[in-house]
């Protein structure tokens, strides 16, 4: 096995050595002799004699095979050689021409210089070049900055002395998390204050929350405020192909941290290496578990009094090993939740400092409309508003830009190339007004903010936006039932007006079913099941997947209860629309013509006295018949 592993690495070196040897031989056979004799010009014997007669030749050296001589040409002295001929009168002719006899042939280089020039220097050049190529190959094989020869070296990025420039003032909407982390900063600045009373700083803090809430940003802000070295590494960077390499990287990371203490070590997505050990087929000896074991050991072994603080982030805290979460390792669990109304407004203001905005922009209204958005989504909303302003040729973003950017983030861009037929457009108009009218006629529903039938890139042909006046953390059974009724309002309008149904209610059906199931299986809002949980929630920060925890018989009964609940709310929606069918026609016609209406326009039409709409109602009654006939 070892031999097989070495062969791929050695074969390129053998080829390299062979190529180098061939080049060195060619240098000695062809290039070096030509360099040594490049100053001696070869001539024929007749040219030599002509130069003697004309007085150009000044000095001659006669050897066994060649005659070397110096001649003047254009005022310069050149060294020449010619073949020696059988010429008995040569000496006499040279003396008659006053030619001197002396040493003219170039001196032969010493053996040492020949070896040095022919072999030493080329070999040295190829050795240095080979070492450089070897390092390059090892680096490419290693897959990281250190390459294959830096096994066990940590790839952590080091930001020294707040080079990131991020402070707590750059993080908004997470006041509770910042308060907990400010204590860590204070300890790094004034450790003596804590030592005097005998208090020790928590060794580690775990940031948990949904994606996009600013966990990594908070960790960088801690380092920025503390002005200490900041080691940043992702959990996936510990995972290696070879067993033991991840553990070596953990050791190297903590070694570097101890050398640069006080400092902060941030491990992002720690669930990559911190998952629960299940004692599977690998028997606890696989690479990931060895890396986790080494991390547990290092967190126990390092001295927290030096000022080394471990921060980690994850959005899957339920999958972490209990040994990693116990006191003494990650002592603090800091939730970084989705921002509330005030937090969203603060986040919008922070990001809006980077762009030019109009004075009339109301961040409180934008924050209300962006309910449930994370910090990253709010940053995207601000950027989309700026991009829309540029597309429209304006120098600043307006309130309309921000409102449109919210819709872009929620439902996608407008599909200008998708043109609905008149029949489909009318169906969508009644469908969306059905949602809005059912919501408006229920006292426990959020007010309607906007209705549109313009198709979006997410696939929606239209949507109804509801915005709560304030932040709600609890929902009553009546509110949830009214919400289900609102979901069914679109399909109810189609049934009532066109006596037919379409595929447009697919998402409404999915949302209504999900909410009804949660009411019965998780919220205990069924008399039959009382306060018994029928489902368990996993990955609450990543979509909240559920798994049933009941028998097959109970599942059948649970499904029946869900169907009954949705049916009741569907019937309630039909009754509300039937009672307000005149308003349904009037609002649908207005939306059909305008394509987009605001919540204020919707409420003005809905609250208008019946006397003002008698004609419109009769006209729409005939339109109902026409629309039904078209379908």
Active site residues: 432
3-state secondary structure of 539: coil
Sign of CA dihedral 337, 339, 343, 346: positive
Q: What CA–CA distance (Å, rounded) separates 375 from 585?
A: 40
DSSP 502: -
Would strands 76-83 and 66-73 be described as parallel, antiparallel, or unpaired?
antiparallel
Sign of CA dihedral 434, 436, 438, 441: negative
Sign of CA dihedral 251, 252, 255, 256: negative
Cα 459 to Cα 61, 413, 489, 506: the distances in Å are 99, 10, 19, 11
3-state secondary structure of 590: helix
Q: What CA–CA distance (Å, rounded) separates 539 from 76?
A: 91
DSSP string, 438-493: HHHTSTTSPPEEEEE---BTTS-S-EEEE--SS--S---HHHHHHHHHHHHHHHHH
Q: Estimate the crossing angle of helix 614-630 against helix 477-498, to 10 degrees.
A: 70
Buried b (16+ CB within 10 A) or exposed e, 440-467: bbbeebbebbbbbbbbbeeebbbbbbbe
Cα 159 to Cα 170, 212, 302, 401, 485: the distances in Å are 17, 22, 21, 37, 54
Tokens of 160: 């020294």
- Which H or E run contains 332? strand 332-335
Q: What CA–CA distance (Å, rounded) separates 367 from 389?
A: 19
Residues contacting 374, CB < 8 A, separation 6+: 210, 211, 212, 213, 338, 339
């Amino acid at each position: 096995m070892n031999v097989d592993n070495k062969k791929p690495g050695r074969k390129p070196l053998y080829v390299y050595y062979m190529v180098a040897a061939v080049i060195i031989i060619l240098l000695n056979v062809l290039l070096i002799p030509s360099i040594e004799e490049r100053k001696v010009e070869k001539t024929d014997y007749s040219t030599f004699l002509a130069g003697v007669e004309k007085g150009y030749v000044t000095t001659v050296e006669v050897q066994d095979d060649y005659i070397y001589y110096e001649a003047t040409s254009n005022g310069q002295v050149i060294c020449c050689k010619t073949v020696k001929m059988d010429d008995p009168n040569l000496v006499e002719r040279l003396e008659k021409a006053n030619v001197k006899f002396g040493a003219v042939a170039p001196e032969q280089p010493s053996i040492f210089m020949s070896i040095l020039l022919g072999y030493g220097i080329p070999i040295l050049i190829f050795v240095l070049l080979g070492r450089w190529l070897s390092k390059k190959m090892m680096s490419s094989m290693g897959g990281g900055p250190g390459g294959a020869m830096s096994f066990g070296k940590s790839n952590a990025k080091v930001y020294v002395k707040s080079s990131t420039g991020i402070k707590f003032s750059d993080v908004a909407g997470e006041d509770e998390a910042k308060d907990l982390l400010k204590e860590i900063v204070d300890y790094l600045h004034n450790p003596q204050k804590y030592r005097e009373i005998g208090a020790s700083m928590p060794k580690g803090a775990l940031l948990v929350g949904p994606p996009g809430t600013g966990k990594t940003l908070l960790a960088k802000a801690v380092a920025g405020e503390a002005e200490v070295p900041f080691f940043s590494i992702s959990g996936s960077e510990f995972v290696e192909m070879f067993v033991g390499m991840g553990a070596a990287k953990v050791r190297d990371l903590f070694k570097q941290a101890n050398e640069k203490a006080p400092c902060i070590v941030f491990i992002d997505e720690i669930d990559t290496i911190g998952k629960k050990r299940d004692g599977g087929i690998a028997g606890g000896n696989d690479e990931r578990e060895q890396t986790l074991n080494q991390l547990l050991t290092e967190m126990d072994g390092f001295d927290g009094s030096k000022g080394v603080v471990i921060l980690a982030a994850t959005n899957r805290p339920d999958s972490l090993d209990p040994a990693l979460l116990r006191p003494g390792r990650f002592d603090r669990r800091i939730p970084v939740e989705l921002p509330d109304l005030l937090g969203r407004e603060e986040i919008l203001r922070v990001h809006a400092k980077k762009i030019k905005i109009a004075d009339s922009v109301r961040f409180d209204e934008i924050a209300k409309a962006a309910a449930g958005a994370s910090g990253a989504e709010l940053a995207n909303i601000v950027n989309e508003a700026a991009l829309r302003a540029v597309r429209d040729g304006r120098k600043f973003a307006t309130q309309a830009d921000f409102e449109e950017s919210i819709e872009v983030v929620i439902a996608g861009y407008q599909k200008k190339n998708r043109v609905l037929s008149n029949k489909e457009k009318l169906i969508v108009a009644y469908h969306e007004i059905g949602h809005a009218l059912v919501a408006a006629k229920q006292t426990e529903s959020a007010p309607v903010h906007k209705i549109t039938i313009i198709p979006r890139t997410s696939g929606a042909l239209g949507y109804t936006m509801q915005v709560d006046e304030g932040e709600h953390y609890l929902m009553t059974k009546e509110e949830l039932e009214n919400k289900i009724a609102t979901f069914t309002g679109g399909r109810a309008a189609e049934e009532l007006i066109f006596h037919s149904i379409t595929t447009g209610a697919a998402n409404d059906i999915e949302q209504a079913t999900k909410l009804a199931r949660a009411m019965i299986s998780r919220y205990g809002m069924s008399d039959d099941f009382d306060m018994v949980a029928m489902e368990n929630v996993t990955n609450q920060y990543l979509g909240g997947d559920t798994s049933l925890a009941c028998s097959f018989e109970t599942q059948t009964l649970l499904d029946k209860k869900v169907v009954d609940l949705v049916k009741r709310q569907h019937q309630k929606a039909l009754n509300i629309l039937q009672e307000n069918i005149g308003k349904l026609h009037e609002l649908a016609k207005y939306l059909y013509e305008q394509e987009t209406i605001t919540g204020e326009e919707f409420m003005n039409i809905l609250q208008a006295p019946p006397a003002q709409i008698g004609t419109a109602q009769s006209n729409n009654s005939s339109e109902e018949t026409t629309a039904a006939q078209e379908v």
